[in-house]
Amino acid sequence: MKKEICIVVGSKPAFSEQEHGLVLDYPKVESSHCRISVLGNQMFVENLSEKGGTFVNYKRIEKQTQINDEDIITLSKTIPLSQSLLQRKLHSIKPLAPIENSSSDSDLNLFVRRSFAYALDLFFLIGFAYLLFLLHNELQNQLDSMVYRNLLSVLVIAIFIAFYFIIIISPRKISGATLGKYMFGLRTRDGYSGGNLDLIGSWTRSLAKLISVLTFGIGFFRFWLREDRLTLHDYLTKTVVDRVDTHQQ
Instruction: Kindly report the CATH number assigned to the domain that includes residue 85.
Output: 2.60.200.20
Asked if residue 139 lies in contact with residue 80, where contact means CB atoms within 8 angstroms, the answer is no
The number of domains in the chain is 2
Residues 6+ apart with CB under 8 A from 241: 110, 114, 181, 186, 187, 188, 189, 234
Domain residues for 15? Answer: 5-101
Q: Are residues 199 and 230 in the same domain?
A: yes
Run of H or E including 32: none
Do 220 and 147 share a structural domain?
A: yes
Is pTM beyond 0.85? Reply is: no
What values do phi and psi take at 44, rounded to 5? -130, 150
- Same domain for 204 and 123: yes
Please give the backbone phi and psi of residue 68, each rounded to the nearest 5 degrees, phi first: -130, 180
169/80 same-domain check: no
* Domain end marker among 101, 134, 164: 101
Q: Do residues 113 and 216 both lie within one domain?
A: yes
Question: How far is 211 from 207, CA to CA, in rounded Å?
Answer: 7
CA distance 51 to 49: 6
Domain boundary among 74, 101, 128: 101
Q: Point out the domain boundary residue: 81, 101, 121.
A: 101
Q: Based on the domain organization, do 124 and 37 belong to the same domain?
A: no
Q: What is the pLDDT along the chain (249 residues), one digit of tens a residue?
A: 556 778 888 877 665 444 555 677 776 788 888 888 888 788 899 999 888 899 998 889 999 999 987 788 888 877 888 776 677 666 655 444 333 444 335 788 889 999 999 999 999 999 999 999 999 999 999 998 999 999 999 999 999 999 999 999 999 999 999 999 999 999 998 876 778 999 999 999 999 999 999 998 899 998 888 766 789 999 899 888 888 864 444
CB 195 within 8 A of CB 224: no
